[in-house]
Each structure stands twice: as structure tokens, then as C-alpha cells.
């Protein structure tokens, strides 16, 4: 099992990013959350089987059709198994990932 924190930058708000990420996560059986941030980015925490988490991350690099992803920050965290579903959050309460390893992917 794996857990990853994602921060996605680019044109990622107002393009159905959160709703589509929830559909993708639900179809893969992963749990966690996704939300818009005040700076225009999208933030998410994804937990589940490693392969499924990696599929969500792969999807996040392109997003839904109207999105234009420029950068994805991935912070691998210890698996916690704390979620029962994948949901959309509407708060902006700070979240500090418990970092094991960080990756930054710059995209065209």
C-alpha cells in the first residue's frame, strides 16, 4: 500500500480537475481527497495499492481535457489507511505532508 501527496500546477481549476480526479480514483479503488487551493493549484492525497496510486499520479500529469498541467509535485508519505472514500474537499486548511521522498515533474 502507498500514500502520495500531490500538488498540481497549471490551468487546473475551472476545468473539472477535481471531479474527474474523483472519478479516476473511484475507478481505481483509491481513497483520499482533492481540493482547489487559493494560488490556483490543486492539492490531493491519494492512498491505496501502489500501482493504483501511480495510475492516479500518471493521470494527474495530464488531467482532464481542458487542463494544462505545468508541474506536479509528488511527496511520498507513510501509508496510513485513514480514508474510507475519495472525496472533494472545500476547505484550505494547511496540510503538511510527512515526507519520505519528494519528486518534482516539470511539464511542457
Give the pLDDT confidence of 30-73 residue by residue, as tens digits: 999 999 999 999 999 999 999 999 999 999 999 999 999 999 99
Which pLDDT value is given to residue 94? 84
Which pLDDT value is given to residue 69? 97
Does the annotation count 18 as an active-site position?
yes
- Of 3, 7, 35, 36, catalytic: 36
Closest CA to 20 of 94, 86, 97: 86
Which pLDDT value is given to residue 72? 96
Which pLDDT value is given to residue 106? 80
Which pLDDT value is given to residue 108? 66
Which pLDDT value is given to residue 7? 97
Which pTM was predicted? 0.92
Does the annotation count 36 as an active-site position?
yes
What distance in Å separates the CA atoms of residue 108 and residue 106, rounded to the nearest whole number?
7
Amino acid at each position: 500500500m502507498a500514500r502520495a501527496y500531490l500538488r498540481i500546477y497549471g490551468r487546473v481549476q475551472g476545468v473539472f480537475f477535481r471531479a474527474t480526479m474523483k472519478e479516476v480514483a473511484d475507478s481505481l479503488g483509491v481513497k483520499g481527497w482533492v481540493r482547489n487551493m487559493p494560488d490556483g493549484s490543486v492539492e490531493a492525497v491519494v492512498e491505496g495499492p501502489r500501482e493504483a496510486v501511480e495510475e492516479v499520479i500518471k493521470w494527474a500529469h495530464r488531467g482532464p481535457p481542458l487542463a494544462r498541467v505545468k508541474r506536479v509535485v509528488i511527496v511520498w508519505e507513510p501509508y496510513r489507511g485513514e480514508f474510507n472514500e475519495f472525496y472533494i474537499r472545500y476547505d484550505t486548511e494547511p496540510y503538511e505532508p510527512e515526507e519520505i521522498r519528494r519528486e518534482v515533474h516539470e511539464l511542457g
